[in-house]
Chain A
Amino acid sequence: MRKLVDLFSQNKKAQLLLFIVYVAVTSLSLILAQQSVVAFLLLLFSILLLYFLKLNTKAKWIIGLLIVAVLIPFSASQGQAYESYMDVATLVGIYCAMALGLNIVVGFAGLLDLGFIAFFAVGAYTYGIFASAQASKFLHFGHFPLSGESFWIFILIGGIVAAIFGILLGIPVLRVKGDYLAIVTLGFGEIIRIIFNNLDHPINITNGSMGIASIAPPKIFGIVIANASQFYYVALAILLVVIYIVTRLEHSKIGRAWKAIRDNEIAGQAMGIPLVKTKLTAFAIGASFSGMMGVVFAAKQTYVDATSFTLLESTTVLVMVLLGGMGSVPGVILGAAVVTILNLQVLTEVSNWLNQLNTNGVISVPDALSPAKMQRFIFGLLLILFALYRPKGLIPAKNQKYDANKLKKSTTKSMYVEPQVSNDKKASGGSEI
């Protein structure tokens, strides 16, 4: 048996064949069963299987994109639950991008940010205020609401505004001790929520606890993107851009500097890394991702109010990062997908099922224990268990392997020698010249 498994793990063709069969079976069952959550989840699971296949990266990307962009929307569109599936998939995309942003702060730079949702809120309100009639309540020039075409620019604006907030918060805190960051961001998350919830007087900026309604949906080439199945592609496109940026950043100079100060601050400093600047960059970039996704969130929901931005949300994103593996891009995507689906699909389904059992009188589970209410319990437990027993997460981060000889050859022409990174220790120890 063992031999067979070994043989299988070497054989590319057999793997690919089995994978295709798996995808075909799950998508067919999704088409035929019309409203099967299980089939939908199993089809999404195929992306994870794809990650572990022994194929080259390009082929994996192409197959993965085909599944995500064509197969999943197509097979889901055959049932009545199409929009709700796409809604979940869109939110998975949004949370993946957010978790990747937090991954830069927590996973790469090792700074614990417990108020990450505040930047999300900043982004959401930035778009919400200007894309609804709200802006005309305190600005006396220009025509509001702005049209849906401004959405694409606002993705950038939301990111920049959130980054500014991140820098303003980071400057006082990052100058002193790193531990304070956790509690200051925790407080900041709460304060932003209180401010947004009360800023309807003296000037009505956020419409207070009423929230901002009827936000313009995005528009492209005159097409209004209003339902979830269309939004799915927007979220997917943004997620791809974010993945591209994050993977490029990870192995860049700044990315290596982040990991160095995470592993040993003093050693990193001794190697000439500007500590505050590097931390602040991580903080600002992470915040800007969160802000961008906030804009998308506001446009998708067409309504924002302060209740969507509680500490629970911040912790949810943190659970995604820790569950998947801090510092590991594929891990964080997996973590975000698992937590979002758990949150939106599994917990509500189980609660409904238990409710049904209750009404049928099979067993009686008190309302207080209904799984949909147990998010804090589940997330708290996940945080503790993973931190204690699997701090590297489901897919641990791998450091890029460098071939020392190749590097030497490529750099003999220039005076500068690239740092030679082969394992954790050397990454923290810095360059060997």
Chain B
Amino acid sequence: MLAHIIQTLPQVIVDGLTLGVVYAVVAIGYTMVYGILELINFAHGEIFMSGAFIGTTVLLILSSVGFLSSVPAILAFIIIIVIASLATGFLGMGIERVAYRPLRSAPKLITLITAIGVSFLLQDIVRFIAELKTGNYIVSAPSLFNDKIHLKTSAILPQFGDALFKSSFLVVLIVAIIMLVALDFFVNRTKWGMAMRAVAQDRETASLMSINVNKVISVTFFVGSALGGATGVLFMIQYGTIDPYIGFILGIKAFTAAVLGGIGNIRGAMVGGLLIGFLEMFAAANLSTLTHGAFGAEYKDIFAFAILIAVLIFKPEGLFGKAVVEKV
């Protein structure tokens, strides 16, 4: 049993890292919005999904005009990811403006309900656009990076098996890390980032310090959604097939990652995302061996949920969060 686990470990690490960075970037979107508005933005998973679809559309258009064959894949990829993230960024801003801002002083229950409404609306709009254009709502994107890379991990330790991955893995990993570092810089080192942190801490005092609160909230939504959309493109590049409902389960897992890292804490969300990604891939590879075939990989989705419950019971403030005392 142990031999099997060790043998699959390199592959688990590679897959877990891919999934983990995707979760991490999506989790940041949740954590930023929660930090600033104390609102669980249910539509964030759908923004991620819209990003994947916008990316696919651009990719299909580029390939149909023959642009794809004339430029290197990496350039096409950069164009796609920039367009998709700008579009989803504005989408996120629009959602905030239309659905959340009028309700900012309403009971939180009402805002949560609009959030779930927005998420349903986006799912169906994407569904029927995709179905109108292609006849099927499950869309497969042509792959940009196809080279298979064989990592000879068995050379390091004889017990290890080899890890196999597509070159898109490297692209996903590098882009996600760039995004994470850039975001960290943006929030902690720039003026806008400082304004964001100030609004998150105390909205009224921030507005007294001549910070335009509405604008800061808009920017937060823009940044969070743009990151989510870009991650959607990464997901599409890596996994190839997308459908309008991918955002839902992924959203729950990313939210779990945000809670695990301490909601409102951006670095916590990154660590949480990576942890959830690893655990899920580990479960998918080994659950059936560990339980002697009683439970198979189909239960991997339950892991994130079990972690969420466990965190809420034992450490509700998360790994890196501070316990908040409610003031009256």
Contacts and interface: CB of A to CB of B under 8 A. Distances in A.
B305 A187 contact: yes
Interface string B72-111: 0000000000000000000000000001001100111111
Given A184-B309, A198-B298, A387 B110 contact: yes
Contacts of A379: 117, 120
- Give the dominant DSSP class at A's interface: helix
Given A179-B108, A383-B120, A201 B294 contact: yes
Contact of A176 (B109, B124, B316): B316
B6 interface: no
A383 B117 contact: yes
Nearest to B122: A380
B255 interface: yes
A417 interface: no
Nearest to A171: B313
Contacts of B220: none
Nearest to A368: B131
B109 A172 contact: no
Given A182-B40, A194-B302, A381-B117, A388 B102 contact: yes
A383 B109 contact: no
Nearest to B125: A377
Interface in B281-328: 293-296, 298-299, 301-302, 304-305, 308-309, 312-313, 316, 326, 328
A170 B16 CA distance: 31
B276 to A, nearest CB: 13
Question: B interface, how many residues as a size bin?
Answer: 35 or more
A319 to B, nearest CB: 9
A114 B255 CA distance: 15
B324 to A, nearest CB: 9
Contacts of A175: 312-313, 316
Contacts of A177: 316
Nearest to B305: A187
Interface in B38-81: 38-40, 42
B117 A380 contact: yes
Interface residues of A, number: 49
Given A186-B252, A388-B114, A266 B328 contact: yes
B103 A315 contact: no
B124 A195 contact: no
Interface string A364-402: 001111000111110111111001100100000000000
Contacts of B197: none
Nearest to B259: A180
27 contacts: A106-B109, A112-B112, A176-B312, A183-B40, A183-B255, A187-B256, A187-B304, A187-B308, A188-B305, A195-B302, A198-B298, A198-B299, A202-B294, A315-B116, A368-B132, A369-B132, A373-B128, A374-B128, A377-B125, A379-B120, A381-B117, A384-B121, A387-B103, A387-B110, A387-B113, A387-B117, A388-B114
Interface of A: 106, 110, 112, 114, 172-173, 175-180, 182-184, 186-188, 190-191, 194-195, 198, 201-202, 266, 311, 315, 318, 322, 326, 366-369, 373-377, 379-384, 387-388, 391
